[in-house]
Structure 1
Amino acid sequence: MDEYAWPAGPRVPAPDVVLGSWAATVAALPVGARVTGEVVGRQPFGIFILFDGVPNAIGLAEITAMPPGMELPALGAHVAGEVFWHSHNLQVRIRLDDWKDPAE
């Protein structure tokens, strides 16, 4: 199996569902909100997350926020972090707790 995978499976919302739920997603997950979820996709640029309690949203944690020497969490891993942006392509951008500088 390839180490990279796009988000897929019965729990991953379809693009039209994500679009139709975008206003509710932004309201439920404002910038600064604490989030948890499951890794449902991995790419060289980051991981995709399904959020606990917000089923019609997709999160993205990009490697630009990952400290050197760390690895991407595995598919199925449970992660936690903080919302730092809502992107134009209907993704909630996340900074993972495991990727924060200990000095923060």
Structure 2
Amino acid sequence: MGRQPFGVFIRIEGVPNAVALAEITAMPLGMELPALGASVEGEVFWHAHNHQVRVRLDEWRTSAE
């Protein structure tokens, strides 16, 4: 996993070629990016044929509801 100003890159277990990104624009106000090495869960809501995916983290979704 890697943190950038625009979001967090996530390694997807069992899919070594995937490049997953949880974008900061999906993060609710008052939340923080996950720490490096943290285990997170989420839902893929967009993908491309070149193994790029966008993920909505469960912790972000439940705090916004």
Normalised TM-score (structure 1): 0.56
What's the offset of the Cα at 1:91?
1.8
4+ aligned runs moved over 6 Å, structure 1: none
Sequence identity percentage: 72
Partner of 2:19: 58
Structure whose CA Rg is larger: 1
Partner of 1:48: 9
The gaps in structure 2 that reach 5 residues or longer are: none
**Against the structure 1 CA distance between its residues 62 and 76, is the aligned structure 2 distance closer, same or farther, given a 3 Å change threshold?**
same
- Please list the CA deviations of residues 44-100 of structure 1 after superposition, one character each: whole Å capped at 9, or x if unmatched: 110000101111111000011100011100110111000001158742000000001
Residue 81 (structure 1) aligned to one of 19, 42, 46: 42
How big is the alpha-carbon RMSD for the aligned residues of Structure 1 and Structure 2?
1.7
Between the aligned partners of 1:42 and 1:101, the Cα distance in structure 2 is: 21
The number of aligned residues is 64
Alignment-mate amino acid for residue 65 of structure 1: A
Q: Equivalent residue of 1:100, what SS?
A: helix
- Are 2:52 and 1:91 aligned? yes
